[in-house]
């Protein structure tokens, strides 16, 4: 995979303030602010680099207020790291192509994986299937 590397100034110029805060500075958007994603078949890509990350078929309603998926489209595209912020230990997920912060993964999702990828909506772009 070809990595996407840009300067902080380039990311700031490309992204909205909120998207920059979330994806480049490991922020979190308010819950319920991106509940308008389409229900049609398609793919969710990284808003920073366009890498395909999640499939609509793997999306589910978690009741958390953030888009949730039980698995990534390609496990090689979504990386994990330990997040010890806010006096807790969580597993942060990021785009492996550009290192954009996406959200976190938790072990309380539905089968078949039992995982809940809790993703910031501003970190994703939806592309309908042709």
**Which residues form the catalytic set?**
118
Q: What are the tokens at 90?
A: 């969580």
Conformational region of residue 86, where left means phi above 0, alpha means psi within -120 to 50, and beta covers everything else: left
Handedness of CA 18, 71, 109, 106 (dihedral sign): negative
Half-sphere exposure of 26 (CA within 13 A, CB side): 13
Q: What are the tokens at 95?
A: 């785009």
């Amino acid at each position: 995979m070809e990595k996407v590397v840009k300067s902080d100034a380039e990311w700031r110029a490309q992204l909205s303030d909120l998207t920059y805060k979330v994806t480049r500075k490991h922020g979190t958007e308010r819950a319920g602010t991106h509940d308008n994603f389409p229900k049609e078949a398609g793919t969710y890509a990284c808003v920073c680099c366009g890498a395909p990350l999640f499939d609509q078929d793997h999306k589910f309603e978690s009741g958390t207020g953030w888009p949730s998926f039980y698995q990534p489209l390609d496990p090689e595209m979504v990386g994990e790291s330990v997040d010890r912020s806010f006096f807790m230990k969580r597993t942060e997920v990021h785009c492996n192509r550009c290192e954009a912060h996406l959200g976190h993964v938790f072990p309380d999702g539905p089968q078949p994986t039992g995982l809940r990828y809790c993703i910031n909506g501003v970190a994703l772009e939806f592309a309908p299937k042709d």
